[in-house]
Structure 1
């Protein structure tokens, strides 16, 4: 307890400029994380729970208490890893990088943590404008008590829904809407949040496989050529991977493969920054 008090005293004694700089840096990322979490609360079931919790003793439907707000927010924050996977372009990035590792034959050379870390860094880079928008329009006004939590939920959901719809194919959205019974909806924005989320996930998987296939083809050609040459030379006991791996790495380095891959991934994301 004494150590915690000393830490708080040191934080309070820090220069005001340093605290403001830390706030500016952490604000957009906190806005994105909170916006993703709050967007889940737009689900009708969660919204009903919030409305019930918001009832006061007189039977009204006012804002719920601070303790209930903290409980709801902390519960939703526990779902943050799932939200990062399902509501951002992280799924696309990690699948493409995994397929690239498979094409290069570097299953042991590029560990899963490294692939996940690269995908997470690219996700933060791409999603930062969305986080800034959520922080400025929803989280900061709510923290300043200018809007209610229900208003913050609606404001935070809007930019994330626009981002997801920009990546979602019409066929996937129509199929999910038909399965959920929302065929009467005319505009994509009018679909419920779970429908948009499911369609976005399917579209991300499709896009990731398309990009991964394009990256896979050149290395597949090298494997076929090496295998054919070894078969023609009668060297069937020699693994083609021993010969093809250096050739694939050489080709990847000569064409600046990492830069091309990152540019392809980032440029494939639409609807960011607007």
Structure 2
């Protein structure tokens, strides 16, 4: 207990010295942290004026949230869910591996979203980096292409649902919807669309399973697992009809 108390005391003492040193350094030279704190205090008065230190903090935050933004604002959810359901419909739970499906979904997302990314960069990111736009104007320019894309893919029922849950007044037009309403509505619509596509993918493979099971039962081969016969048939038929080409093409054309 004495040893443990000594360790805790040493940790607290070190933390106290570190905080004291940080406070002394801030008093002598504000540095980056001081600029960020100063921006936080004055942001409510003039949000258009941000120092490079605060902009760097915002950039680092966005980079840390990049994976979540990719899932929320793009077609990544639809593509990954469809590919996962396809794997389950065929009956091979580990092939292709999840990492392969995720990588394929990511590259398909980048391919499909390329026009949106280019528009956001040309109208918002590029001019902002050149100093031609204020922060708030650049934000609107960057968000607008994604807002347009999400509105095109989102059902009105989902928009009304989340607008009602948020207890907001009905907007004059969908373009004025808050992102806190649009983003979850878009994600819900993407999940619904992905499940509809997955259900259609399951049907032909389900027919093959039923035919194989009925054939084995009529032949009295009860001991033979139907999956042992059905899986090679499903793989062969899937390859013969060029299933990957058909499914990927249907997903991309459905989004575009």
Shared fold (TM-score, shorter chain, > 0.5)? yes
Given that 1:54 and 1:63 are in contact with CA atoms closer than 8 Å, whether structure 2 keeps it comes out as: no
> 1-side partners of 2:114 and 2:48: how far apart?
33
Q: What corresponds to 1:252 in structure 2?
A: 238
User: Among residues 46, 53, 58, which one is paired with 2:40 in the alignment?
Assistant: 53
Given that 1:168 and 1:199 are in contact with CA atoms closer than 8 Å, whether structure 2 keeps it comes out as: yes
Given that 2:39 and 2:54 are in contact with CA atoms closer than 8 Å, whether structure 1 keeps it comes out as: no
User: Among residues 116, 129, 151, which one is paired with 1:165 in the alignment?
Assistant: 151
Given that 2:48 and 2:135 are in contact with CA atoms closer than 8 Å, whether structure 1 keeps it comes out as: no
Shift in Å at residue 139 of structure 1?
Answer: 0.7
Point out which structure has higher relative CO (alpha carbons under 8 A, 6+ apart): 1
Q: What TM-score, normalized to structure 1?
A: 0.76
RMSD across aligned C-alpha pairs, in angstroms?
2.0
DSSP 3-state at the match of 1:268:
helix
CA deviations over 1:192-219 (Å, ceiling 9, x no partner): 0110001000000000001111111100
Cα 1:51/1:137, change in 2 over 3 Å: farther
> 1-side partners of 2:149 and 2:244: how far apart?
26
Given that 1:103 and 1:216 are in contact with CA atoms closer than 8 Å, whether structure 2 keeps it comes out as: yes
- Which consecutive aligned stretches of 4+ in structure 1 deviate over 6 angstroms post-superposition? 49-52
Q: Which runs of 5+ in 2 are unaligned?
A: 1-35
Shift in Å at residue 232 of structure 1?
Answer: 1.5
**How many residues are aligned here?**
220
> Which one has a bigger Cα radius of gyration?
2
Shift in Å at residue 118 of structure 1?
Answer: 0.9
Given that 1:55 and 1:64 are in contact with CA atoms closer than 8 Å, whether structure 2 keeps it comes out as: no
1:70 matches 2:56: yes
CA deviations over 1:165-211 (Å, ceiling 9, x no partner): 10000111111111111242131111101100010000000000011
1:224 matches 2:205: no
User: Among residues 152, 160, 173, which one is paired with 1:174 in the alignment?
Assistant: 160
Given that 1:51 and 1:61 are in contact with CA atoms closer than 8 Å, whether structure 2 keeps it comes out as: no
Q: What corresponds to 1:212 in structure 2?
A: 198
Written as runs of structure 1 = structure 2, the 5 A alignment for 1:1-274 is 53=40, 55=42, 62-270=48-256
Shift in Å at residue 62 of structure 1?
Answer: 4.8
Shift in Å at residue 51 of structure 1?
Answer: 11
Q: What TM-score, normalized to structure 2?
A: 0.82
Q: What corresponds to 1:34 in structure 2?
A: none
